[in-house]
Amino acid sequence: MLKDLYQFRAYNIRHSYDVGDFLEAYRQLLQRAIDGIWRNIVWREKQIKEKKRLIPIIPKSNQFKRNLRNYLLKDWNYAKHYVDSALKQAYSILKSWRRSYLKGGRSRGKPVAKKRFVRIKETLYSYRDGKIKISVKSKEYLVFDISKAWFLSRAKGEMGELILNEKFLTVTFRFKQKAGEVKGKIAWDCNERSIDGFNPEIGWIKVDLTKLFRIHRAYELKRKRLQRRASKKPSLKKLLDKFSKRERNRAKDLVHKLTTYLTGAFNNYFHGFENLKKMFTKSRKHNRNVAKSYWKAIIGLMSYKSEVRILNLRNSTKRCSRCGMMNAPKGAFYECGCGLRIDS
């Protein structure tokens, strides 16, 4: 059986409330939470691949969290539950920083909260008769009428966390995707112009990515022509940004449609993708071509629309796809004792 999968949908509602002071107060609260956790991080030296590295240990004890919450409540003039939201968000930010730091993607510098927005959990708002009522402080509320919102007919499941910024309120919905029997597994090979899948019952599946490659290539040439003149004419930088945004939007739209089709055509299948870290080399041209294929976006979108596994490719050319036995291929011909024969 497939495990239970959850899907999320988010919709924006434009508002006209003046929430600048509230957002800035929450940003400062979030930064104080990050600072409090950061001061108590313990750095331990550990031997990793013949090198000594300092590994950060983030404090997680209930006593520490209780003391930090009491510290954050001082001089906080809004509802107390926002302190809990800030603590949860601070831990999420630091855990993300730690993962990236251990992979070599971040330095030992402390994360800084720059964007102004507030995460509003379920205990801070109510939803009745098509209206969302958000508690800001004692006897002070923000009310949003969504009774005629276009997305209500599409929204499924329960309303979850809200996100408030200066212009929009983002409403999220969470619902469980029905689990079914596993029909099979498909292993995907990512190439520059296509992704090729294989399943013993279905056979080979080829997905052409030429259109996606052409989108990136077309806008790359447009930007290249403009970049030569942009240094002398600053007004062209706005046009460059416009082209870049249009390229991203067209590529994302195509990838969304592609992954939606794949998950619908191969419903209740496990999808296996190779680890993309080893795809990048020291060649700048090769890395750009890899980036044009949008593999990372494809895998990311597939992972929340269906079940995805990142595969270890070691001995994959020797292992039989039917029974799992190890056999050395003879040139372009592969033969296994179970009867499988492949002539590539």
Give residue-wise pLDDT tens across range 184-200.
Answer: 888 888 777 888 888 88
Find tokens 């994959």 and name the residue: 316
N- to C-terminal Cα separation, the chain: 34
Domain count across the chain = 2
Same domain, 29 and 116: yes
Residue 192 forms part of a structural domain: no
Same domain, 258 and 136: no
Residues 206/179, Cβ–Cβ less than 8 Å: no
Rounded CA-CA distance 124/120 in Å is 6
Q: Which residues contact 322 (CB under 8 A, 6 or more apart)?
A: 200, 336, 338, 339, 340
Q: What pLDDT score does 300 carry?
A: 84
* SS3 at position 280: coil
Q: Which residues pair with 195 in a beta bridge?
A: 190, 207
Same domain, 51 and 124: yes
Rounded CA-CA distance 190/184 in Å is 20
* Across 100-107, average pLDDT: 85
Residue 2 has pLDDT above 60, yes or no: no
Residues 174/157, Cβ–Cβ less than 8 Å: yes
Q: Pick the residue with more confidence: 123 or 179?
A: 123
Residue 253 forms part of a structural domain: yes
Residues 204/196, Cβ–Cβ less than 8 Å: yes
> Which tokens sit at 278?
């080893």
Q: What pLDDT score does 23 carry?
A: 95
Residue 65 has pLDDT above 80, yes or no: yes
Question: 177, 194, 226: which is the final residue of a domain?
Answer: 177
Residue 4 has pLDDT above 70, yes or no: no
Same domain, 160 and 269: no
Whole-Å CA distances, 123 to 79, 81, 156, 162, 253: 11, 8, 20, 11, 35
Q: What pLDDT score does 302 carry?
A: 87
Rounded CA-CA distance 87/290 in Å is 38
Rounded CA-CA distance 286/279 in Å is 9
Q: What is the DSSP string of 177-242?
A: EPP----EEEEEEE-SSEEEEEETTTEEEEEE-HHHHHHHHHHHHHHHHHHHHHTT-TTHHHHHHH
Nearest to 164 by CA among 60, 23, 266: 23
Containing structural domain, residue 20: 5-177
Same domain, 139 and 213: no
Residues 270/263, Cβ–Cβ less than 8 Å: no
* Across 64-81, average pLDDT: 93
Residue 321 has pLDDT above 80, yes or no: no
- Rg over alpha carbons for the chain, rounded to the nearest Å, is 25
Rounded CA-CA distance 213/193 in Å is 7
Q: Pick the residue with more confidence: 17 or 336?
A: 17
Question: What is the percentage of the chain residues whose pLDDT exceeds 70?
Answer: 91
Same domain, 172 and 212: no
What is the band of 1 on the pLDDT scale with cuts at 50, 70, 90? very low
Beta strand 333-335 pairing with 341-343: antiparallel
Rounded CA-CA distance 243/220 in Å is 9
Same domain, 245 and 141: no
Q: Which of 3-12, 137-146, 150-159, 202-211 has the lowest mean pLDDT?
A: 3-12
Beta strand 194-199 pairing with 184-190: antiparallel
Kind and range of the H or E element at 94?
helix 81-102
Question: 160, 177, 194: which is the final residue of a domain?
Answer: 177
Q: Which of 49-53, 219-223, 249-253 has the lowest mean pLDDT?
A: 49-53
Residue 238 forms part of a structural domain: yes
Question: What is the percentage of the chain residues whose pLDDT exceeds 90?
Answer: 34
* Across 244-266, average pLDDT: 89
Residues 29-47: tens digit of each pLDDT? 999 999 999 999 999 988 7
Same domain, 124 and 257: no
Nearest to 196 by CA among 183, 205, 209, 184: 205
* Across 58-67, average pLDDT: 94
Global pTM reads 0.60
Q: Which residues contact 343 (CB under 8 A, 6 or more apart)?
A: 332, 333, 334
Same domain, 128 and 9: yes
Identity of residue 37: I
What is the band of 225 on the pLDDT scale with cuts at 50, 70, 90? confident
Rounded CA-CA distance 99/219 in Å is 34
The angle that helices 295-305 and 236-265 make with each other, rounded to 10 degrees, is: 40
> Which tokens sit at 280?
């990048």
Residues 262-309: tens digit of each pLDDT? 888 888 888 888 877 666 677 777 777 777 777 788 888 888 788 888
Residues 48/102, Cβ–Cβ less than 8 Å: no
Residue 320 forms part of a structural domain: no
Q: Which of 104-113, 118-127, 280-289, 299-308 has the lowest mean pLDDT?
A: 280-289
Rounded CA-CA distance 272/309 in Å is 5
Same domain, 70 and 163: yes
Residue 33 forms part of a structural domain: yes
